[in-house]
């Protein structure tokens, strides 16, 4: 994983957190956007959170929407084009 992918994953994580927070699931600090260092340090926790959210149909929409929105950008960043 390169820095560009990490930055995109930070943005995707924020979108999932914001979406699920709208359902009253996750409190978050105002204006906080997880960056590369956050993703690197807490990848396991982020993955567990996303997998947990994915298991609930209500919150799964957040993960599916974010993945559909960012898939191409992540693939391009992964290819380092």
At 49, which helix (H) or strand (E)? helix 43-54
Q: Which two tokens stand for residue 66?
A: 């974010």
Which pLDDT score, from 0 to 100, does residue 71 have?
A: 92
Q: Which two tokens stand for residue 20?
A: 């699920």
Going from the first residue of the chain to its last (81 residues), give the mean pLDDT of each consecutive group of 10, the final group possibly shorter: 86 86 61 70 76 74 89 90 66
Q: Give one DSSP letter per residue of 6-45, joined into a string.
A: HHHHHHHHHHHHHHHHHTT-----TT----HHHHHHTHHH
SS3 32: coil
Which pLDDT score, from 0 to 100, does residue 31 have?
A: 64
Which pLDDT score, from 0 to 100, does residue 6 have?
A: 86
Answering whether pTM is above 0.75, one says no
Which pLDDT score, from 0 to 100, does residue 20 have?
A: 79
């Amino acid at each position: 994983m390169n820095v560009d992918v990490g930055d995109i994953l930070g943005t995707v994580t924020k979108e999932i957190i914001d979406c699920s927070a709208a359902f009253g699931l996750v409190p978050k600090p105002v204006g906080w956007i997880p960056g590369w260092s956050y993703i690197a340090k807490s990848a396991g926790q982020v993955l567990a959170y996303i997998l947990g959210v994915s298991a609930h149909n209500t919150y799964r929409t957040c993960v599916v929407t974010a993945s559909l929105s960012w898939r191409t950008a992540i693939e391009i960043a992964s290819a380092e084009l």
